[in-house]
Structure 1
Amino acid sequence: MQKTIHPDSETLTRIGSSVRGRLSESPAIRRVPVEGAEIYTAEQFLSPVHCSHLIGLIDAVACPSLLAEEKDWEGYRTSFSGDIDPNDLVVRALDTKLSELTGIDRACGESAQGQRYNRGEFYHEHWDWFDTSAHYWPREKRNGGQRSWTAMIYLNTVDEGGMTDFVHLGLKVQPIAGTLLIWNNALPDGTPNPLTMHAARPVVRGVKYVVTKWFRARCWS
């Protein structure tokens, strides 16, 4: 049987190899010991002052979170989110820091998105990569193509709940202020990795703030 050729797979293979090499050389980065996916963490990636500043930016723009196919998935994501000001000095510094860490051109990064989860709010199981057979793919193809890496930074330590749960890997990450969680959405051959399915579990006590940066195969627009 002929293997399916996925859009951007060659580019994602190249990006994956490059980022993998850079992260392996960084003493601040730790690879999470799971089979089948490339997931890394770094503690104290952002300072408390910068975390607090970003929380303020999120509160200023947060609206009910949407999905690419909202009409088919009502109630699947109950958080609040919004793109934070790309011209803010702290946001610009974060963009630069992530670009230097990964080696991915800043032009390939989507605008940083902030998310706020109040008590009881969640985001059920999903992938960050795009379904190239979905109706929205032509739009995303024009806007930079497939997502390569996801970088997520927890801005506060959640009192209880709110874990990032990689459901096929037996990995649950507890939100701790300033911690970076970064992973490759593709397999080494550049095809989407189904094992990167993850969920934001409900916050039981307190509130959860996250800033997320998605990188594309090509320049994002």
Structure 2
Amino acid sequence: DTFLSVEECRDILKEVDAAGYHDSLMWSGDPNNNVLWRNSSSFLCQDADVGYPLCERYPAITKLRKRMASVLQVNLEHGDGMAILRYLTGGYYVYHHDYIPESSLPTTFRNCGPRAMTFMVYLTASEEDGGGETHFLQLGLKVQPKQGRAIVWPDTRAESPLDKDD
């Protein structure tokens, strides 16, 4: 619950607010039922110049990424960058899996393979009326946002790390 301090969360948010968010609406792409899967804003940075700002330009984000890499015991080069999402009232992301197949992001996949783990940090707390939780349907578990709280989960199978973990 205290992976980041309140001050560290504020520093990251200041960097992202200064850099700017972009809309991250995501549609299902199904021509028969093209529904909105995600309604949020995003800030993205990468380790290589692939059209997004370089993460190293942001000291607070760099500090966070190094701490995450240390906990996971992986090098930053083996990650797929950083996404910081902002959900306003009414924002959402429907149930989805964080596994990234090669067909979805071929450049990222060539660098690090499928996303093996997701490491998520809440930079703000939920509002008084609740909401904002991360729901793991198959586990029947809801994690409430708490500023500085980190959660980590696998996206691939331990015995077969290229395969999606349902």
Q: What TM-score comes out, normalization by structure 2 length?
A: 0.80
Larger relative contact order (CA 8 Å, sep ≥ 6): 1
Other-structure match for 2:118? 150
Q: Which residue of 2 aligns with 1:185?
A: 155
Give me the whole-angstrom Cα distance separating, in 1, the residues matched to 2:149 and 2:156.
Answer: 22
Unaligned runs of at least 5 residues, structure 2: 46-53
How far is the alpha carbon of 1:162 from its aligned partner? Answer: 0.7
CA 1:115–1:137: 2 relative to 1, 3 Å: closer
Query: Is 2:24 aligned against 1:52?
Result: no
2:25–2:37 CA contact under 8 A, matched in 1: no
Q: Secondary structure at the match of 2:164?
A: coil
Q: Deviations over 1:165-212 (max 9, x none)?
A: 001110000000000011111222122111xxxxxxxxxxxxxxxxxx
- Aligned positions of 1:46-195 closer than 5 A: 46-59=4-17, 60-67=19-26, 71-72=29-30, 73-84=34-45, 86=55, 87-131=57-101, 135-136=103-104, 138-159=106-127, 160-189=130-159, 190=161, 191-194=163-166
8 Å CA contact 2:79, 2:112 repeated in 1: no
> Pairwise mapping of residues 3-14 of structure 1 onto structure 2 (< 5 A)?
none
- Structure 1's unaligned 5+ residue stretches are 1-42, 195-221
Query: Alignment partner of 2:68: what SS?
Result: helix
The amino acid that maps onto 1:63 is H
State the shift of 1:139 in Å: 4.6
One-letter identity of the residue aligned with 2:150: L
Q: How many residues align?
A: 149
CA distance, structure 1, for counterparts of residue 35 and residue 43 of structure 2: 18
Distance 1:164 1:138 in 2: 27
* 1:105-130 deviation line (CA, Å, top 9, x unaligned): 11112222110000011000101102
Change (3 A) 1:100 1:119: same
Asked if structure 2 preserves the Cα contact closer than 8 Å seen for 1:58 and 1:115, the reply is: no
CA distance in 2, matches of 1:64, 1:137: 19
TM-score, normalized by length of structure 1? 0.61
Kept after mapping to 2: 8 A contact 1:149/1:185: yes
Q: Percent identity?
A: 28
How many Å apart are 1:66 and its aligned residue? 4.6
Cα distance change on mapping 1:185 and 1:173 into 2, 3 Å: same
